[in-house]
A and B are shown apart, each in its own frame.
Chain A
Amino acid sequence: MATTYRRRFISEPQTSVPLEPLRGSRLMSRARASAVHAAGDRVLSHGRRILCSIGLHGAEKWSVLDTGISAWSHPDATTPRVVARTPPIRLTPGHFVRAVLVANPSGLTTQPDGLGGYETGGPKGVVRIAATYDNGSSVTVSRDLSIAGSETPNAAQPAGAGAAWAQLHRRRSSLLLPADLTAPANLAAWCDGATVALTVSYIGSPRAVDVVVFEEPLALAYDLAAGDWTVPMHAAANGGDLGQLAGPVPVTRRSTSDPGGGAEVVCDAAARLCQELGPVLLFVSAYDESNQTISATETDAKLLTGTSFRDFLTTAAASFDATKPGWSASSGANARRVQDSEEHVVLRDLDNVVPVRCYIYASLSGSSTGIARIETADHSVAEVRVTGTTYGWFSAPGHLRCGLGAQDPTVLQVKGRTTTAGVSLRWRYLMVAFEDL
């Protein structure tokens, strides 16, 4: 028997069933049961999780020079230089990756002149986004976002008051899809449970003001026989709205061959949505536009040397202090779970805790153990151990306090050390993301 699927487009919030019947003091009916199913399908339509970003980001100058070529003074035109990486993280069901680049006109590139010297390769700037999807088999897709070269002498940055604002370019990639997802079978294979690992590279001399790579909702499809749906899939086989449920009364399931349309599927979907969804709290690259060396093919690492904790970014001696610079963890409150943050008997609505996995792309300069400590309070600590002298991803779970939400500010700080004097913890990328622990 051929496999049959149900498909649901989630790129726009949609339902033909009003939510009004969800409110209290109403008798249960087919319309109201239908409203519950439709509401479940809409939950995933709001996702725009930012997975990573890179750019000028407060720096004091461009790494690309405004002067003419002098020796190997500008990047070459072809070698990708990695500026951001993420570990493989689980995609939100039905979501795929898109990138947006904002940039000023690109600068000059360098190339050998064939006589032992160098010459200009002309202006060129590309930001390459590579996404490696994995659902058991791995697929890498990439997009190059190009920005035209500067027309000023030496392809220098725009000159004159406000000129950089007048020369802002924006490029928006198409969705990076692991396959042609038109067929429901392909969509079903990739829409739930897949991971994505991102690599952002600069090629040539882009002047990237801001690069942001984020998830965007597209569609879900499930094999009718498989079950374990993230949402109730209150949709027709072609992805359209189903309207009212079939039959005059609520049922446990539509039929023995179709788990949708009943009480069981809404219970299962609610359980998954309440436990498995959560934000990406933080992505950090050690890339520093002001100081990055153009000859390096990967972001210059930050070095934390010695056995005393040092701030991840400044490398100065550090202990947790909420009055010092840090990041925010307040969005974690959007994804609170009953077992960590229930508001009556667990944390009594005075605080929240978000379960996370903390990732660090790092290595050590010698034989030792590296310790990266992620804190949102003295009493809220996650710790990642790093071993070996080869760069790789290391991770550990944690439960970080995150306050009540955006209006309850939190400060997340990261520090690191090694267990051996003179040995450095070298890190390039850091990520803290919700995980259903």
Chain B
Amino acid sequence: MPTTISPYSKPDTVLLLDAAETDPFIDHSQYRPGTDLSEQFTVPATNWLDEANSARTALDTGELTLIWNIKSGESGVLIDHGNASTYSWRIDISGSSVRCRSDGTTLLSLALPDLDASDRTFLISYCTHPDGANLRHELLVWNLTTGALETAAATQPLVLAASASDTLSVGAAYGGALPFTGGLDFRQVRIGRRFHSQAEQREDWVAASTPPATTQVRRSAVLVPHRATLDVASDGSFVGPAHLWAGHAFEQSDRRLVGPLVNLRVPDPLAIDHEYDAPTSAWWRAAPGDPDVRMCIALLWCRPVPLKVNRARVRLFVRQQNPSNTVTAEVRWRMYSMAGLPVVGEPLGPLIYHRTTAATCSTDHGTGAGEWLDLGALPLAIDELGMTWLAVGISMDEGSPHVANTIAYMHAATVEPYFEPADDGALDIAEL
């Protein structure tokens, strides 16, 4: 019979309680299966869970995530790692806020968004990682019932190191003190040894992303080889795995420095009309290969191209309007990549150019809106200096009765390079 592993349990998870699945004290983590928390009761009617000498949760950095039903008026400690006099970390509800605390110091707090008189389900994620000599603390509180969320972050020194001999308590502080008045009304509790990003919490607990299909070469997040793990220095050890693992890691690292060629927002964009003479006709010329498409020096960049890329994905944020009407002519936008653009004092060579397909827009956006246009893939033409000229190409539908009154603006441009394998599927390094 196959072993069922909770999708919420990850390799760093040291404790996973899932009250939506089974009894709340059962540990579903892969850390120490079968090591459940203890149920504790006092009279009147306070119950909590705990684990004495909880070395596995004695963490100074990592993840604390709670999915808990909370309504207004409820307060108390949700989770705590401490003893009769101190605690290294605690999450509690005070008033209408959630607080992350350490030994009496509030490190972060946030108001519970859309807290209501009836139960709301909250994702409360408190994660930390080292930041120099200090710790970076991040708190995400997400009302899963309404979708409202808040975040907070701070860099602070470690207040009190966690002790392996301290007690983990869920639903109260040590010994049942300060119990959460809403009881053990949680869905899940997860404690992990690794910092979890806000995006990871969203993927795990809220909704999984649906990414687009991609054809670019993508690299893996490589498990890092370590000489101690591979035991390479010991007599009789294999050195082959170290080389193969490292070789794989090198291959997967070969594009880590690739960043955007253009990543721009324009605070006060040029107004473009079909005369192409603003602010002066000197700024405009016909695009190579298509005299109906115009290029402007205000939308021209000369950028170094990292090795190992051959294309770029281009997006523009555009706005267009007809001040005297609500209908505009169709505006067609392209991006060009050129090598050999004539420059004063440089030898004149052949002009090599590529362009994206045209993205068209006919929407009158008025004054406060606009839209992203995806221009798709731009093959890169690279000159002998390793640079490419990038220019936006614009044309307007001269047959439209509205063309004379159509004004277009480009508010943002992003040109993100990548590598597209050849059609034969051959891999990259040899080709470059």
Contacts and interface: CB of A to CB of B under 8 A. Distances in A.
Interface in A9-32: 13, 19, 22, 28, 32
A153 interface: no
Contacts of B211: 349-351, 403-404, 408
A356 to B, nearest CB: 11
A296 interface: no
B254 A57 contact: no
A281 B282 CA distance: 33
Interface stretch (A127-135, A198-206, A263-271, A416-424): A263-271
B232 A267 contact: yes
Interface residues of B, number: 124
Contacts of B214: 404-405, 407-408
Interface string A120-145: 00000000000000000000000000
Interface in B345-400: 345-346, 370-372, 374, 385-387
B298 interface: yes
A314 to B, nearest CB: 7
Given A22-B247, A266-B242, A331-B416, A102 B224 contact: no
A169 interface: yes
B344 A328 contact: no
A351 B199 contact: yes
B232 A252 contact: yes
A279 B253 contact: no
B195 A339 contact: yes
Given A168-B341, A406-B416, A399 B297 contact: no
Contacts of B258: 46, 279, 331, 334
A39 B246 CA distance: 10
Contacts of B1: none
B94 interface: no
A349 B149 CA distance: 24
Interface in B230-276: 230, 232-233, 239-240, 242-247, 249-261, 263-271
Contacts of B198: 379-381, 399, 401
B243 A266 contact: yes
A306 interface: no
Interface in A244-303: 250-252, 262-264, 266-271, 273-275, 277-284, 286, 288, 290-291
B212 A408 contact: yes
A159 interface: yes
Interface stretch (B49-57, B180-188, B305-313): B305-313
Interface in A145-182: 157-170, 172
B260 A159 contact: no
Contacts of B255: 46, 334
Contact of A46 (B227, B286, B306, B341): B306
Interface stretch (B69-77, B114-122, B202-210): B202-210
B243 A350 contact: no
Contacts of A341: 221
Contacts of A340: 195, 197, 200, 221
Contact of A377 (B195, B199, B295): B199
A383 interface: yes
A268 to B, nearest CB: 6
Nearest to B208: A350
Contacts of B259: 49-50, 279-281, 331, 334
Nearest to A376: B199
Contacts, number: 388
A89 interface: no
Nearest to B241: A263
B89 interface: no
Interface in A42-100: 42-50, 53, 55-61, 92, 100
A117 interface: no
A430 to B, nearest CB: 11
A162 B282 contact: yes
A382 interface: yes
A36 B250 contact: yes
A351 B209 contact: yes
A157 B281 CA distance: 11
Contact of B226 (A36, A43, A267, A398): A267
A338 B195 CA distance: 12
Contact of B302 (A170, A266, A346, A353): A170
Contact of A210 (B269, B284, B300): B300
Given A45-B307, A284-B265, A405-B216, A378 B149 contact: yes
Contact of A161 (B281, B302, B308): B281
Interface string A338-369: 11111101111111110000000000000000
Given A160-B282, A404-B214, A343 B313 contact: no
B230 A267 contact: yes
A267 to B, nearest CB: 4
B298 A56 contact: yes
B240 A28 contact: yes
Interface stretch (B34-42, B157-165, B407-415): B407-415
Contacts of B304: 48, 50, 100, 212, 214, 216
A45 B140 CA distance: 39
Interface of B is mostly: mixed
B19 interface: no
A347 B221 CA distance: 11
B243 A36 contact: yes
Contacts of B281: 160-162
A48 B305 contact: yes
B210 A168 contact: no
B221 A337 contact: yes
B259 to A, nearest CB: 3
Given A32-B243, A33-B243, A382-B153, A350 B209 contact: yes
B10 to A, nearest CB: 5
Contacts of A396: 136, 153, 155
Nearest to A161: B281
Contacts of B230: 263, 267
Contacts of A214: 304
A58 B410 contact: yes
A348 B203 contact: yes
Contacts of B223: 338, 342
A110 interface: no
B20 interface: no
B371 A162 contact: no
B299 interface: yes
A58 B224 contact: no
A325 B226 contact: no
Contacts of A251: 239
A210 B301 contact: yes
B177 interface: no
A104 interface: yes
Considering residues B219, B256, B304, B371, which has the most beta carbons from chain A within 10 angstroms of its beta carbon?
B256
A357 B74 CA distance: 37
A112 interface: no
B430 interface: yes
A397 interface: yes
Contacts of A210: 300-303
Given A273-B250, A274-B253, A288-B268, 15 more contacts: A42-B250, A56-B297, A58-B299, A159-B280, A169-B344, A252-B239, A271-B226, A334-B255, A336-B221, A348-B208, A350-B211, A353-B199, A380-B199, A397-B136, A407-B313
Those 7 A-B pairs whose CB atoms lie nearest each other, nearest first:
A279-B259, A58-B266, A270-B249, A406-B416, A266-B246, A328-B414, A399-B197
20 contacts: A13-B432, A19-B430, A28-B240, A36-B247, A48-B386, A50-B259, A53-B301, A58-B413, A60-B278, A157-B280, A165-B297, A168-B341, A168-B342, A271-B249, A281-B263, A328-B414, A336-B221, A338-B221, A399-B195, A399-B198
